[in-house]
Structure 1
Amino acid sequence: MGIELLRSFVAIVAATYVILFGFLKKINEWYYVTMSEKKQNPLPPGHMGWPFIGNMWSFFKASNSQDPDSFIDNLVKRYGRTSIYRTHLFGSPSVIVCSQELCRKALTDDEHFSYGYPSSAIQLGGKKSLYGISNSEHRRLRRLIADPINGHQALALHIEDVVITSLEELATMNRPIKFFNEMKTIALNVIAKVSLGSTQDSILWSMVKYYTELSPGILSMPINIPGFAFHRALKTKDELDERRRKTVAERKKGMMDLLMEVENEIGEKLEDEHIIDLLLLILFSGRETAAHTAMWVRLELDLEHTNINEEQQAIEKTILPESLTLTEIKEIEYLPKVIDESLRRNYFAFAIYRKVVADVNINS
């Protein structure tokens, strides 16, 4: 009798769970589909998941697995190869596009799309970072930052010194190395040198600490409650902002000096908040992207490839590698193509985010 009662209880709990959460998913689906019926263009196939949570559980499960593409693969299996699907991620209704043609439309149409990163990234990146500003402000800020940095020979020499020194140290090691980990260390050294003017161990370890604690919150549910990744990342950001304010006040040598002197067309300079948020973005994105690019270039580069061998031999005959200037490096023809192709084939970011600012049909 006791076993039968237990079975009945379990069956009732399971049925209640299925009915309750099935009902909630239906409500969420009904709400967004009904809202979309007021628009001229219908929603693509897909489902909105649970209220507020959406499909984040399955998204995180896929992204943390050995097969992150399984999130998209499941949509393809369920709704066909339409290359466009509706879903609900990071607390917002979303549409995923995953074909070359549709991605090009979304990334080049400034009339209907603006930069639109998840709320967690905007809050942690800062109001003045490249995450949370308009298209026009994004272009203006990138131009202000890139122009003085790209033409700054001293900054290029700082980077070169750090990289050469790091590679020479690796060459002296009589043991196998983990290439990707070493590339991350070199990238961190470069970031510390050009942005903070130092590669001291204390500064590097503090940057590693901040990065380790901040990174999980960048793409997470924006839940500011103890125990959640976003809450921990917000606390870390406050500590990091305070450290960077002191660094800005001390006017360290390097990229920070350049950013503090940048002026726009009417003579306005970047605010300290702009500089702090930009340095945080460099810390977050620069380390991983540089390391991944270096790793994939090394893995995919055929050392016997005629074109690049001929180019490198020609450079060695005319210019000593240690005397190459930034201008001469930019004139190298084939090597940048290898890097660009590696970026195209093995782009680090899982997704590029855009915000729809007007109803649009991109799959007609």
Structure 2
Amino acid sequence: METSMGVWLALLFGLFPILGWLLWWWNDLWYAPPLKFRYSGTGTRLPPGHMGFPLLGEMITFLWYFKFLHRPDEFINSKRRKYGDGEGMYRTHLFGSPSIIACFPSISKHVYQSGDVFIVKWPNVDLMGQTSLGAVHGKVHARIRNYINQCDQPH
């Protein structure tokens, strides 16, 4: 009886934390080394950030800020507080893909104009909703984009 209790304690305090740590860093370990190797000769480095859990990435945090708190700017501001404003770009894992969050209009412009380096891809409308930036066009798109640009200004 004591042996089985010792095994469970060993698992609880030894193996489970290691497995949790590996899960926490899995996306970073899976995506970052190939990207670092691909751009190693160009002097380009990955922006700061964390990729989150496998499959989920940082979607739970993202949805918490966007859907429950109704404060989408706080998701980005949490990245800015954690990693600083130095680069204005942060890596994350959202909607099942590695992603970059650009916080300043000048960086967004650079991303949109360098199509060979960055792949600009909007998430599925079913995930984001019919009124998301990627789903609307014309005046509504311009209004939402202006709102986002106002949120992107440094505080």
Regarding TM over 0.5, the answer is yes
Query: Does the C-alpha gap of structure 1 residues 21 and 46 become closer, same or farther in structure 2, counting only changes over 3 Å?
Result: same
Query: Is it true that 1:24 corresponds to 2:23 in the alignment?
Result: yes
1:218 aligns with 2:127: yes
Deviation of residue 106 (structure 1)? 1.3
Q: How many residues align?
A: 131
1:86 match: 91
What do you get for the CA RMSD once the two structures are aligned?
3.4
CA spacing shift, 1:219–1:36, aligned 2, 3 Å = same
1:70 shift after superposition: 1.4
- 5+ long unaligned stretches in structure 2: 130-134
Which residue pairs with 1:100 in the alignment? Answer: 105
Q: Distance in 2 between matches of 1:37 and 1:88?
A: 16
Q: Are residues 97 and 52 of structure 1, via their aligned partners in 2, closer, same or farther at CA, if it must alter by over 3 Å? A: same
Determine the structure 2 residue equivalent to 1:77.
81
Distance across 2 between alignment mates of 1:66 and 1:14: 38
Cα distance 1:35–1:66, how it changes in 2: closer, same or farther (>3 A)? same
Q: Compared with structure 1, are the counterparts of its residues 344 and 88 closer, same or farther at alpha carbon in structure 2 (3 Å cutoff)?
A: closer
**CA–CA distance in 2 between the matches of 1:75 and 1:93?**
15
Q: How far apart, in 2, do the equivalents of 1:56 and 1:343 lie?
A: 21
- CA shift at 1:48, angstroms? 0.7
Runs (4+) off by over 6 Å:
none
Q: Does 1:346 align with 2:147?
A: yes
Query: Post-superposition shift, 1:85?
Result: 0.7
2:114 counterpart residue number: 109
Q: Cα offset for 1:111?
A: 4.0
Q: Could you tell me the TM-score, scaled by structure 2's length?
A: 0.67
* Greater radius of gyration (CA): 1
Residue in structure 2 matched with residue 285 of structure 1 by the alignment: 136
* 1:292-341 deviation per Cα after TM superposition (whole angstroms, max 9, x unaligned): xxxxxxxxxxxxxxxxxxxxxxxxxxxxxxxxxxxxxxxxxxxxxxxx7x
The one-letter code matched in structure 1 to 2:147 is: N
Question: Identity over aligned residues, as a percent?
Answer: 28
CA distance in 2, matches of 1:102, 1:37: 20
Alignment of 1:184-199 (within 5 A): none
Question: Superposition pairs for residues 199-214 of structure 1, below 5 Å?
Answer: none
In structure 2, distance between residues paired with 1:68 and 1:14 = 37
Aligned counterparts of 1:63 and 1:86: Cα–Cα separation in 2:
18
| 2:65 alignment counterpart | 62
Ranked by relative contact order (alpha carbons within 8 Å, sequence separation 6 or more), the top structure is 1
Counterpart-to-counterpart distance in 2, 1:107 and 1:219: 20
Distance 1:50 1:346, change over 3 A: same
* Paired letter, 2:128: L
- Aligned partners of 1:59 and 1:14: how far apart in 2? 30
Q: Distance in 2 between matches of 1:14 and 1:61?
A: 30
Q: What is the CA-CA distance between 1:47 and the residue it aligns to? A: 0.7
Give secondary structure in 2 for the equivalent of 1:94: strand
In 1: Cα distance, 2:28 partner to 2:119 partner: 25
TM normalised by structure 1 equals: 0.31
Residue correspondence of structure 1 range 271-282 to structure 2 within 5 A: none
Aligned to 2:36: 37
